[in-house]
């Protein structure tokens, strides 16, 4: 199952304004989104930069992997 991880810039900006600590990493699969502040990888992954065809959320840079990942200690 493909997993896509990207940094949510809007949350980073909101955290700065409110001194918050909301999760800034979005980890997507075809069936769910999981949010966290840490992601651990094992196995192959790749970083993608696609300015002319961003993700539907607007991200231009993201990480893709087919391997399981840990999002704040929970396997996805």
Is 27:34 a contact under the CB 8 Å cutoff? Answer: yes
Regarding pTM above 0.85, the answer is yes
Distance CA 70, CA 21 (A): 19
pLDDT for the residue 56: 92
- Local mean pLDDT, 10-residue blocks, the chain (76 residues): 96 97 96 96 95 94 96 94
pLDDT for the residue 17: 97
pLDDT for the residue 68: 95
Residues 6+ apart with CB under 8 A from 69: 3, 5, 27, 39, 40, 41, 42, 75, 76
Is 36:8 a contact under the CB 8 Å cutoff? Answer: no
Distance CA 49, CA 46 (A): 10
Domain boundaries along the sequence of the chain = 3-68
């Amino acid at each position: 199952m493909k997993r896509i991880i990207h940094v949510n810039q809007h949350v980073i900006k909101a955290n700065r304004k409110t001194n918050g600590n909301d999760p800034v990493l979005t980890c997507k699969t075809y069936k769910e989104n999981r949010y966290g502040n840490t992601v651990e990888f094992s196995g192959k992954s790749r970083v993608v930069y696609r300015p002319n065809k961003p993700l539907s959320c607007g991200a231009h840079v993201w990480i893709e992997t087919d391997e399981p990942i840990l999002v704040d200690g929970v396997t996805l």
